[in-house]
Amino acid sequence: MTTIGWVRHGNTDWNAVRRTQGQTDIPLNLTGRAQARALAERFKNESWDVVYTSDLSRARETAEIIAKALDVPLYADERLREMGFGRMEGTTEEDRIRMWGEEWRTLDLGLESDESMVRRGTEIVKEICLRHPGQRILIVSHGALITAMLSALVPDRGEREHLHNTSVTLIRKRDEEWVCDLFNCRRHLDAINL
């Protein structure tokens, strides 16, 4: 049975101030690295075969810390990148209101569609499953992409919820359907008071 562990990358300085990152390549901060180490420590008590990651540095560094601790192969793929947020990238809510007004959400700011994210995400997930049938695979990616993919793969899972940095969501393939066994878990952070 194929299992995918979806992991959101660790914290960045832009996460801390709620600045939209999108595909802008922002590195982990010290907190993000500590989160990734705590997650790697958690995964040492579990069995994983391979790690895939977005090529953006915040996800890639999170994945590198995990893969090194587990001594498993690591592969990067740009299809696992965050949603492209167009002109919103680099802005906070206050910036957007100042630049475009209270109704900024109604404007065309060049955001990538959910359909585009799901298309590229589905493509790489299918390839990963073909390469690693019956294995346990970690995918380190980004909040919007993971949320969109979970809605596509496990549509009856329920409402969308904000994914925490380094949270873990486990899905497994049962026959031709995906089942969610764990959602947005961050118990590994309890040990480091984050």
Residues involved in catalysis: 9, 82
Annotation-wise, does 11 bind a ligand? yes
Annotation-wise, does 24 bind a ligand? no
Is-contact 165 142, C-beta < 8 A? no
Is-contact 89 24, C-beta < 8 A? yes
Annotation-wise, does 14 bind a ligand? yes
SS3 content of the chain, % helix, strand, coil (to 5): 45, 20, 35
Rounded to whole angstroms, how far apart are CA atoms 115 and 63?
Answer: 26
Beta bridge partners of 52: 75, 139
Annotation-wise, does 42 bind a ligand? no
Annotation-wise, does 29 bind a ligand? no
Annotation-wise, does 142 bind a ligand? no
The residue to which tokens 């019956």 are assigned: 134
Q: Identify the CA nearest to 71 among candidates 48, 99, 42.
A: 48
Binding residues for substrate are 8-15, 58
Binding residues are 8-15, 58
